[in-house]
Homo-oligomer: A and B are copies of this chain.
C-alpha cells in the first residue's frame, strides 16, 4: 500500500528553473510595495503564461487565495524554502582566470542568495592573491578550505582540459551540484547534477536564428 516513500511526483527541471524568475519578479514587486500579486501579473512580468505559473506553484503546494491572488511575502518565502535558499547554500569557483575572477566580482556586486565563498586555481603564481575579498587557494587545499568555508556547489571556470579532473575531485569531496562554464561534456555519476553554460555554444546556436524569418522562431 505504501507509495514511493515521501517522494511525491516528479517535478520537471524546466519548472524548477522558472522558480527563481518568479522570485526575482516577486522581490521587485515587494520592494515596490505590492502586497498581493495575481498569476496574470506575474505572467506579464515574466513572459510565462499564467496557467504555467499556477501549475508550477501547485507542484509544491497551494500558496494562493482563490479570487484574490498570492501574497507577495508569503510566496517569496515559499519559493525560497522550496529552492533551499532559506538554508545557507554557498558556492566555490574553480579557475581564477578572466572568467572566474569576473564572476566573483560580478556576483559580489549584487544581491545574492548563493554567495561565492572560495576561489581556487592551479597556478602557484596566483595562489594567495586576493579577488574581491577571496584569497585564491590551491586546488590541493580543497579539503581544508571546505572545512573552513563549507560550500555545496562548484562553479567551474577552468580550461577545458582541466574540467573533467577538477569535477571529479570536487565530486569526490561530496559536491553534488556543478555549474560548468568549461566547453566540455562532463562525465560524472548521475548522482551529480550538472548545468552547463557555454558562451561559444550559445553564440553558435543563436547564429541559427540570425538569418531566419520570424515565422521560423521556435
Contact = CB atoms under 8 A, between A and B. Distances in A.
A205 B200 CA distance: 22
Contact of A113 (B17, B107, B204, B210): B204
A189 to B, nearest CB: 8
Interface string A44-83: 0111000000000000000000000000000000000011
Contacts of A103: 99, 102, 199
A206 B193 CA distance: 8
A122 interface: no
A114 B207 contact: yes
B208 A114 contact: no
Interface stretch (A8-16, A33-41, A137-145, A164-172): A8-16
A199 B106 contact: yes
Number of copies of this protein chain within its complex: 2
Nearest to A191: B214
Given A185-B46, A193-B217, A217-B190, A210 B105 contact: no
B206 A153 contact: yes
Given A98-B105, A183-B24, A216-B10, A176 B114 contact: no
Contacts of A110: 183, 200
B190 A214 contact: yes
B105 A208 contact: no
Nearest to A48: B185
A215 interface: yes
Closest 5 A/B residue pairs (Cβ): A102-B102, A13-B218, A20-B204, A114-B203, A193-B209
Interface of A: 7, 10-13, 16-17, 19-21, 23-25, 45-47, 82-85, 87, 89, 91, 97-99, 101-103, 105-107, 109-110, 112-114, 152-153, 155, 176-177, 179, 183, 185, 187, 190-191, 193, 195, 197, 199-212, 214-218
